[in-house]
Amino acid sequence: MTVTEFATLEVLPPHDTHSPAIQDFFRKVAELQSTASGYRMRFFQNANAPATLYILAGWPDATIHQKWIESEGNNALLAEMQTKVAVKGLVHLEVDFTKIPSDATRVRVTTYPNEVQSRLKVDGTEPGGPLEWSGVCGSLESNGTELYYLQVWTDGKAKEEAFGGAEAGGATADVHMIRLPYEI
């Protein structure tokens, strides 16, 4: 089973997600990393904080991703991005990347402490309308202490209430993401 990279990035001033330098940079990232991983990257923007971006990307396993992180190609990208983008977080979600719809237009990722799992509703009938896909998973880094609840819409018409507060209570983070067009 693949793992899913979930990275949180912040675009640094004076840039924004529409800056040609940012778009060119992420196209380059997508081309190089997708070649290394064998999976296309997906870029999203925080619906409530436009400078915050997210990457969802597949890897055969976390070890192969770590080799990419340590590679010359990735280090060159890290050097280039220092004045454009800051990495705020990175986890490997224990969910098969190929199960997440590739045409996702909106994604909600809610993080919970593990003890909330029994209260999570994952039947596809969320307040935002029918989901294309949802799932609950841990991360390789959390040692079972955190759960990530992913909800995916593919038509771009998720009702705004889908992006309200976390229904199960006890959420430690609730991220609402909109797809960005950084394609290779």
pLDDT at site 124: 47
CATH code at position 158: 3.30.70
Q: State pLDDT tens for residues 99-139.
A: 999 999 999 998 888 777 666 655 444 545 578 888 888 99
State the pTM of this model: 0.86
β-pairing verdict for 42-46 and 125-126: unpaired
| Cβ-contact 114, 182 below 8 angstroms | no
**Boundary of a domain, candidates 93, 116, 149:** 93
Residue span of the structural domain in which 64 resides: 3-93
Q: State pLDDT tens for residues 39-79.
A: 999 999 999 999 999 999 999 999 999 999 999 999 999 99
Residues 7 and 87 both lie in one domain: yes
Residues 32 and 88 both lie in one domain: yes
